Amino acid sequence: MRALYVSLCAVAAIVLLAGPVQATTGGQSCHKINAKGIGQDLGGGSTTAQIMGGGFLHGTTAGTFAIVGGAPPAFAIAGTVVFTTNAGTLTVGVSGTFDVSTGAFSATGPVTSSTGKLEGATGSLTLEGVQDLGTGAFTETVTGSICVDLSP
Question: CA-CA distance, 107 to 38, in Å (whole number)?
Answer: 16
Could you read off the pLDDT of 81-107 as tens digits, one per residue? 999 999 999 999 999 999 999 999 999
**Gap between the Cα atoms of 64 and 91, Å rounded:** 11
pLDDT at 15 over 60: no
Q: Looking at residues 102-120, what average pLDDT do you find? A: 97
Contact 89, 114 (CB under 8 A): yes
- Check if the beta carbon of residue 82 is closer than 8 Å to that of residue 89: yes
Q: Phi then psi for 116, rounded to 5 degrees?
A: 65, -145
* 106-116 exposure pattern, b = at least 16 Cβ within 10 A, e = fewer: bbbbebeebee
Average of per-residue pLDDT across 107-129: 97
Closest by CA position to 57, among listed 152, 131, 141: 141
DSSP state string for 116-151: GGGTT-EEEEEEEEEE-TTT-EEEEEEEEEEEE---
Angstrom distance (rounded) from CA 128 to CA 101: 16
Which of 150, 144, 106, 112 has its CA nearest to residue 125?
144
Query: What are 29-81's pLDDT values in tens digits?
Result: 999 999 999 999 999 999 999 999 989 999 999 999 999 999 999 999 999 99
